[in-house]
Structure 1
């Protein structure tokens, strides 16, 4: 079971309330801001620990994957602007095991830019590129290449 943002927020709120009740009901004379701060500190320490325990449950790690665990990233250009991550993942999933999809958006408008990056689980990109480059997806001819490493600016 993967623990997401909402679950971590709920867990954090439970720890914060429990900490507040613990500090406020104790015989310690403390002001409200102090008890709230202490309970939030406790929840900030315990929540990531509990989330990491839940995310690494043995039921998920018990079944080893039969596919290669090497991940590679593909650049995909000329994507339709209406395409979403799940549609792209489904399309490429018929060719290779897809780990994640990131479609780029304009920061100001929030509209898609027509390209993205797909992280796939494979040790050899050549067959995937051969099958998907110049293929038609939602009436657009895709351009698929190995993604270049992002260069850090100094």
Structure 2
């Protein structure tokens, strides 16, 4: 799990302000209401955000969606041999005719910014194997796609 710089800065700033308010008060009696107010603020705003942030899982895993989509499972599919000229919207439009697409990520070369010809599609499905059978070897913009279940980073074949 990675916590971004901005999230760390926000949490640090909130705790720094809370500590300054509490410890800069002249008397203990005056700091008690401030301490209670700050702890209520932190439990009401920061805690739910932090809990939802920490509970997120990796994109390649099968997971259960939140309240409105509690019964739908998602899976991430690897799609290879994509046309280099295809963008995320074109890929999503093509695949939505076959399966319920949640998101599309096409990989790019870090140095040149050009697409690498493969990507990952997060889909809603109960049967990943039948989705792969249906989508593998489909022709998209004159290229035969290769579709399989995505693996976690570092998984050996």
TM over 0.5: yes
Distance in 2 between the 1:62 and 1:74 partners?
24
Residue of structure 1 in register with 2:125 after alignment: 122
Of residues 102, 127, 133 in structure 1, which corresponds to 2:105?
102
Give the SS at the match of 1:117: strand
Tell me the TM-score normalized by structure 1: 0.55
Q: Which residue of 2 aligns with 1:20?
A: none
Aligned pair in 2 of structure 1 residues 146, 110: CA closer, same or farther (>3 Å)? same
- The 5 Å alignment of 1:32-111 reads 67=72, 69=73, 71-111=74-114
Correspondence list, 1:8-27, <5 A: none
Cα distance in structure 2, aligned partners of 1:87 and 1:134? 17
Residue-by-residue CA offset, 1:131-151 (whole Å, 9 max, x unaligned): 111110011000001111112
> Deviations for 1:15-55, whole angstroms, at most 9, x for unmatched residues?
xxxxxxxxxxxxxxxxxxxxxxxxxxxxxx9x989x9xxxx
SS of the aligned residue for 2:131 comes to: helix
Spell out structure 1 runs of 4+ moving beyond 2 A: 61-67
- From 126, 146, 153, the equivalent of 1:150 is 153
TM-score (norm 2): 0.55
RMSD of aligned alpha carbons: 4.2
